[in-house]
Every structure is written in C-alpha cells, then in structure tokens.
Amino acid sequence: MNPRILSLLSSISIVSTLILITCTISVIGAKPDSSSGNDFSYLERSCLSKWAAAEEENNRKNQTSPRRRTAEMLSLETPELDCTVWSEACSEEVLNLARRPENVRWMKDLRRIIHANPELAFEEFETSRLIRQELDGMEVAYRFPMAGTGIRATIGTGEPPFVALRADMDALPIQEAVEWEHKSQVAGKMHACGHDAHVAMLIGAAKILKTREHHLKGTVILLFQPAEEAGNGAKRMISDGALENVEAIFAVHVSHQHPTAVIGSRPGPLLAGCGFFRAVIRGKQGSAGNPHRSVDPVLAASASVISLQGIVSREANPLDSQVVSVTSFNGGDNLDAIPDTVVIGGTFRAFSNTSFYQLLKRIEEVIVEQAGVFRCSATIDFFEKEYTIYPPTVNDEKMYEHVRKVAVDLVGRENFRVVPPMMGAEDFSFYSEVVPAAFFYIGIRNETLGSIHSGHSPHFMIDEDALPVGAATHAAIAERYLNEHR
Ligand SMILES: *[C@@H]1O[C@H](CO)[C@@H](O)[C@H](O)[C@H]1NC(C)=O
Ligand SMILES: *[C@@H]1O[C@H](CO)[C@@H](O)[C@H](O)[C@H]1NC(C)=O
Ligand SMILES: *[C@@H]1O[C@H](CO)[C@@H](O)[C@H](O)[C@H]1NC(C)=O
Ligand SMILES: [Zn+2]
Ligand SMILES: [Zn+2]
C-alpha cells in the first residue's frame, strides 16, 4: 500500500485502541519490521529451549514426559458418562477434565510460549507449528495449510452433523509494556488482544473432546485462523473450505470487562460492522493572497467534515446506533498557498448490514457533493479490495441460546451475563454471514493481578484462570450441539 494510506491507517490505530476489540485495519499499516524479516529462528530457539526446560522439569518431578502424560490421560480414567441426555454430572465431568492440574499447567504453558513469541497476521508460522505439534500429540487429524498458516482439525465420527469452533492466532504491532516472566520477546509485537489465550483454550477443548471422542454424535471442526486483526483471515479460511459441511460455528473472545471466567453474550447484533474511508479532494493550487485564482480544497474538505456529521444525527434512526468519525485531515504545508489537494479519512460503524451500506453510500455522496459546492472534485476509497470492510457480527438467536444454556450449566446463572452490543468489530462476522453463529466473551478481569486493561493496550494482560473454563465451554458447546442436532 502507498505511504499515505499507511499514515492514515496508523492514525486510525490510535483511535481504535480505545475499543476492546477494535476494527482491526490498523495492522495493515504496520507491516512487521524488516529487521526480523522472515527469520523465525528466534522462535524456534526460544520455544525449543522452553519445551526442553519444561520437559526436564517434568522428568525430574515425575519421570513422565508431557507427551506420555497426554497419552496416559487419554487412556486412563476414560470418562464413562455418555451424556446423550446432558446432565449436571456431564457439565461437571467436562469442567473437571479441563481443571485437571496437568491440563491447566499445559494450557498455561502453551499460552505463555505463544505470548512470548507473537507473530503478526499471516506470519503465524511457529504458532501454527506449535498447534500442529500438539494436535499430533493427541492424534487429532487436521488439514493444513489453509489461508497460509491456518489449520482445520477434526474430532468425532467424521459424519454429520458438523459443528465448528474457531480461534485466531495473530498478534499486534504493539510494544508490550507489561513486565513479567513471559513478556513478548519480539520488539514491537505483542499478543495484546488475547489471541494467545484463544489458541490455548481451543487446544484445551481439543483435548477434552478427544478424551470424549467415542461419545460424540457427529464431528467437531476446530479452526485455527490467521489474521483476524488484518481482516482477511476469516475470509480466506472460508474460501479455502473452512466451513465445508459445517452447520454452525462458535468462538470466544477474552474480555477485560468481566471478572475471570464469567461468560457473556447476547442474541442478535453483538459487534458493529466496520469500514474505513479515505477521500482525496482536489482543487487548484494558488497564492493565498489571491484566492479567486485558485480552487480551495481546504474549504471543501472542511464543509465535508461538517456535513458528514449530519448523516448519523439527521438521517439515522436514533435507536439504531451508528458512527461516522473523521480521524484524519491533511493538506498543504505552505502558509501562503492554497494546496492542490486535501485528504480526509475516517471510519464508520453500524449494527445492521442495511445501515452499514447506507452509511457507505451517504459518505461518498456527501463528500463528492460538498466538494462540488466549492468547485472541487473528490474520489473515495473504501479499501474494499483489502477486505477491510467487516460486516456486523450478528448472533443467531438459537445459537446464542445454545451458548447461554451451556454456559449457565457450566458456570452457574450468576456467572453468565447478557452483554450490550459494542462498536468494535471482529472478522468472525464473515463466518456468521455464512452459517448460524454465536460469539461470546470470557472474562479475564482480576483487580489483584491487574488484568484490567482493554485489548490493544500495551498494558493488556489476562487472568489465566479463565483458560480451563474457556476450554470446557468450547467443548461442551460442541458436544451438546452434536447431541441435539443428530
Ligand atoms: C505423575 O504423573 C501421573 C500421570 O499423569 C500422575 O497420575 C501422578 O499423580 C504424577 N505424580 C506426581 C508426583 O506428580
Ligand atoms: C450486505 O449488503 C451488501 C451490499 O448490499 C451485500 O453485498 C451483502 O451480501 C449483504 N450481506 C448480508 C449478510 O446480507
Ligand atoms: C485474582 O487472582 C488472584 C491471584 O491469582 C487470585 O488469588 C484471586 O482469587 C483472583 N480473583 C478472582 C476474582 O478471580
Ligand atoms: Zn484485536
Ligand atoms: Zn481479538
């Protein structure tokens, strides 16, 4: 992309960090620094040495390697509960599997290795390799690669129904400001959105589901996708066949707004559709002392900014929340001259597809026509080719109800919350356009630990005690879905 877009996008990133799950275009403006390039040996070194250390520690303590422990866990104590008719005991069993100390330890270790070695969108090579290594260890089959680094793993009968669970793998171009043992080892990159935890929870779910595989009444598809933050990960996964045969899909996101392991969701629109625009307004350069000899794009752009405010305030139903924000205004640097062009840009959000595309249409009309009033011309780019338009994330009512029921049975009514919609965006919306879907949150907020910062903050951290509950929720959502849709 050209540098002007890059500077616009990085200014957008400042705005977007204010939101929990931001509309994540900002990453595109920040390609990985070339100093690390494609050399992932740093990751290999650190991962291997950590694994080696962990293994040594285990052997010292227990004389049993983690790999053998996994195998033993799968054969020993195979749960006897069938759970075709789900009961309280079934929820307990799934939760107990997730909370086994060796499983908790393993999920935390995985999350920490990934946290210390963040990889940006479409570069999740080592993260993907680590996941495949764990899947191999559990003898879970998978298709790889999809969308570059993505994985589609399969557990169950191989027969319908097929239900999917999704985790994203990418980190952000942010310098971690948290000082802790497993701080990012890569300058300028950080898992500041919790995707490291999403991977750990889905791997944890894989273990639970593998342990209960002979009870599954269909097939669970586990999707590990690249590039949520850069927008086209989900889209490319879908075009590579991620949703083949799949009839419903679920995903979780960590949230600093809810206490550790509290689960939240809502039916209908949950996250906004999100788009960006950049308009080039052209006039005619001239001496500022003789304005009549030039055509002034500064005035045209100023009028456009003012008029854009009228779209939401005067044209949108006040009960249908929408946003148009102009975040960038650039043109001219000679105080004595009227410039040729002014470039303005910003973002827009809405919770329905109709409102979203209405905003897009009106932003274009308003800028073009306001430019015309002042004898200027305007062209507008919505970055559609870069897939930076995210549709709204809309939870299917039935799928939401499924999540609510599973969560209440697992964590209790008092630990489930119906949450308000948020103006952030998620590329999970691409899946939710194709099959019935539900997106939910798991709390990671713990004042004692200090995990109180929003996603995309350099201070972001999580309470890892949420991991087993997240894994159990994933697993129970899938197993119960299959039971109820045979
Ligand atoms: C060693 O590992 C086995 C298998 O997971 C477990 O049953 C046992 O409790 C462990 N022993 C110790 C001392 O950690
Ligand atoms: C949303 O609207 C756009 C433009 O009208 C259309 O291309 C797209 O298919 C719509 N998506 C859904 C889910 O209705
Ligand atoms: C917060 O974390 C601390 C330390 O791990 C733990 O003792 C405490 O129970 C946690 N609080 C909540 C509300 O989860
Ligand atoms: Zn994010
Ligand atoms: Zn995220």
Cβ burial, residue 22 (10 Å; 0-12/13-18/19+)? buried
- CA 274 to ligand 2 centroid distance, Å: 13
Query: Per CATH, is 273-386 categorized as 3.30.70.360?
Result: yes
Model pLDDT, residue 370: 98
Structure tokens at 44: 């290999």
- CA 285 to ligand 1 centroid distance, Å: 78
Residues with CB under 5 A from ligand 5 (ion): 193
C-alpha to C-alpha distance for 322 and 423, rounded to whole angstroms? 8
Q: Is 447 in the pocket of ligand 3 (CB under 6 A)?
A: no
Atom of ligand 3 nearest to the CA of 259: 13
- CA 405 to ligand 3 centroid distance, Å: 26
Q: Return the bridge partners of 151, or none.
A: 224
**Long-range interactions of 292-297: CB distance < 8 A, separation 24+:** 294/338, 295/338, 295/374, 295/375, 295/376, 296/338, 296/374, 296/376, 297/331, 297/338, 297/339, 297/340, 297/341, 297/342, 297/371, 297/374, 297/376
- CA 353 to ligand 2 centroid distance, Å: 6
Q: Report residues whose beta carbon is within 6 angstroms of any ligand 2 atom.
A: 353, 357, 433
Angle between helix 66-75 and helix 41-62 axes, rounded to 10 deg: 60
Residues with CB under 5 A from ligand 4 (ion): 193
Strands 437-445 and 246-259: parallel
Fold that domain 43-58+87-270+393-484 belongs to in CATH: Aminopeptidase (3.40.630)
What are the tens digits of pLDDT across the range 125-183? 999 999 999 999 999 999 999 999 999 999 999 999 999 999 999 999 999 999 999 99
Query: CB under 8 Å to 322, separation ≥6 — which residues?
Result: 311, 312, 316, 348, 349, 350, 351, 355, 359
Atom of ligand 3 nearest to the CA of 446: 1
Model pLDDT, residue 70: 52
Q: Residue 354: is its pLDDT beyond 60? A: yes
Lowest mean pLDDT among 44-48, 87-91, 187-191, 434-438: 44-48
Domain(s) labelled CATH 3.40.630.10 in the chain stretch across 43-58+87-270+393-484
- CA 99 to ligand 1 centroid distance, Å: 15
Atom of ligand 3 nearest to the CA of 449: 2
Q: Residue 258: is its pLDDT beyond 70? A: yes
C-alpha to C-alpha distance for 153 and 175, rounded to whole angstroms? 32
C-alpha to C-alpha distance for 144 and 171, rounded to whole angstroms? 20
Number of the ligand closest to the Cα of 415: 3
Number of the ligand closest to the Cα of 253: 5
Q: Is 69 in the pocket of ligand 1 (CB under 6 A)?
A: yes
| Region 409-422 average pLDDT | 97
C-alpha to C-alpha distance for 387 and 238, rounded to whole angstroms? 13
| Region 220-233 average pLDDT | 93
Model pLDDT, residue 80: 65
pTM of this structure: 0.81
Number of the ligand closest to the Cα of 65: 1
- CA 69 to ligand 3 centroid distance, Å: 28
H/E stretch holding 76 reads: none
Provide the CB-side half-sphere exposure for 249 (13 A, CA): 25
What are the tens digits of pLDDT across the range 358-414? 999 999 999 999 999 999 999 999 998 776 788 999 999 999 999 999 999 999 999
Model pLDDT, residue 385: 75
Query: CB under 8 Å to 317, separation ≥6 — which residues?
Result: none
Q: Give percent of the chain above pLDDT 90.
A: 80
Q: Residue 35: is its pLDDT beyond 60? A: no
Lowest mean pLDDT among 34-48, 336-350, 429-443: 34-48
Structure tokens at 359: 């905003």
Number of the ligand closest to the Cα of 59: 1
> Cα 477 from chain centroid?
19
Q: Residue 465: is its pLDDT beyond 60? A: yes
Model pLDDT, residue 51: 47
Domain(s) labelled CATH 3.30.70.360 in the chain stretch across 273-386
The two counts, helices (H) then strands (E), for the chain are 13, 16
Which residue out of 238, 352, 357, 382 has the highest number of ligand 2 atoms within 8 Å of its CB and is therefore the one to mutate?
357
C-alpha to C-alpha distance for 182 and 27, rounded to whole angstroms? 23
Cβ burial, residue 156 (10 Å; 0-12/13-18/19+)? buried
Q: Residue 330: is its pLDDT beyond 70? A: yes
Average pLDDT over the chain, rounded to whole? 88
Minimal-distance CA residue to ligand 1 atom 1:
62
- CA 162 to ligand 2 centroid distance, Å: 26
The label of the residue with tokens 């919350």 reads: 417
- CA 76 to ligand 1 centroid distance, Å: 12
Lowest mean pLDDT among 24-33, 119-128, 223-232, 261-270: 24-33
Q: Residue 77: is its pLDDT beyond 70? A: no
Model pLDDT, residue 39: 38
Report DSSP state, residue 296.
Answer: -
Model pLDDT, residue 58: 52
